[in-house]
Amino acid sequence: MNAAERVDIAESYLTRAADLADLATLVEIEQKCFATDRLSKRSFRHWLQSPQRIFSVIEKAGVIVGYGLVIMRDGTRLARLYSLAILSDVRGQGVGKQLLIELEKQSVAAGKLFLRLEVEKTNKRAINLYESLGYKVFGDYKNYYENNNDALRMQKSIRHYSNFNRLPTYPWYEQTTDFTCGPAALMMAMKSVSAEMVMDQQTELDLWREATTIFMMSGHGGCHPIGLALAAEKRGFSPKVYINQALPLFTAGVRSEHKKQTVQVVEEQFASRAVAKNIPLITAEFDLALLQSVLAEGGRVLSLISTYRMDGYKVPHWVTITAMDEDCLFFHDPSVPDGHVMGFDCQHIPLAKEDFMKLSSYGKNKLRTAIVLN
């Protein structure tokens, strides 16, 4: 079949949004296309009703021959190709390519800049399709599938096709408690500098004990930027702390007066110890220009963000900024929020530059703080 014939055939197929009436057909296609790692009927029903997805089918004369599902994460510019399935008797006709291009267009319309996927290393047909459309390999997963086969991790800049920048190798660690995002973020930054750094739960909890404010709202205390800097200095690093306002930082969310006073005492202890250790405490905004300068000089950056734009909860959360280009900054999130988001989706999350100042501002007082490791 020549190229002109493939175009003619592809043009006879139409894409449209999937709906609940397609459920039985989608399950049937899934059974025919995949021997393992199949989406269940329950999963299909969930995604057909979810607002956080793009779900399209491709059909000819009203007969569905494939589907594509893209899932999205609030507050970021990242989308993920969750599944793409085309019936075997229409493969090689450009149908999969047509559907994927449509999914990319819809992802761009939804404000996303990057589309990510994982594909089995042995699936040469799919890999060739993705590479033909500009997807680049930036990592892999060992024993990813139920059959223990490995997966390639691929990504594409769907808005600026020619500006793909290979992301740096940067360690990722998933926090093991609800309150240890700070230690997890710090471990990632330290590990990226020192291969000898051990990232495990024991270290995670040690760091938390050294850096916690003790109380935070109704639960365990989160980690203070100066406390994290002291923990980094103890392990041989040279930290700087940027805070855009005077202490105390976290007492507003603590209702108990006794607990509030305790937090304030902890903060004062951190500050005096930092001065004694000659750790720079800089009262200034950590803006994009400063971030770019720090990263260009090889520094590592931890930033406190508000998760409200990502999950609807007003919670302070530490992340590790991994890279920056002309459009976006990228960060590792140590928290994997739900069963449909994987560690893969929490690494090098793209955030448009114009969104950074909003995401990195926490609380009514617009706290912005960052830790730089050199």
pLDDT (tens digit, 0 to 9) for every residue of the chain, 374 residues total?
Answer: 544 444 455 568 999 999 999 999 999 999 999 999 999 999 999 999 999 999 999 999 999 999 999 999 877 888 999 999 999 999 999 999 999 999 999 999 998 988 999 999 999 999 999 999 989 887 788 888 888 889 898 988 887 543 444 678 899 999 999 999 999 999 999 999 999 999 999 999 999 999 999 886 666 788 999 999 999 999 999 999 999 999 888 877 777 888 888 889 999 999 999 999 999 999 999 999 999 999 999 999 999 998 766 666 667 899 999 999 877 889 999 998 776 667 777 888 888 887 888 888 887 888 999 999 98
Q: Which of 265, 296, 286, 180 is nearest to 231 (CA)?
A: 180
Q: Which of 297, 300, 331, 338 is nearest to 317 (CA)?
A: 331
d(CA 362, CA 315): 8
d(CA 172, CA 179): 17
Secondary structure class of 6 (helix, strand, coil): helix
Cα 148 to chain center, whole Å?
Answer: 24
What would the CATH number be for the domain defined by 3-157?
Answer: 3.40.630.30
Tokens of 118: 């994982």
Fold classification of 181-373 is Cathepsin B; Chain A (3.90.70)
Quick check: do 3-157 and 181-373 share a fold? no
Q: Please work out, in degrees rounded to the nearest 5, the angle formed at the alpha carbon of residue 124 by the alpha carbons of 118 and 126.
A: 50
d(CA 145, CA 161): 29
Q: Is the dihedral of CA 16, 21, 24, 25 positive or negative?
A: negative
Domain extents for the chain? Answer: 3-157, 181-373
pLDDT of residue 313: 62
d(CA 115, CA 135): 9
Cα 196 to chain center, whole Å?
Answer: 25
DSSP bridge pairs for 331? 321, 349
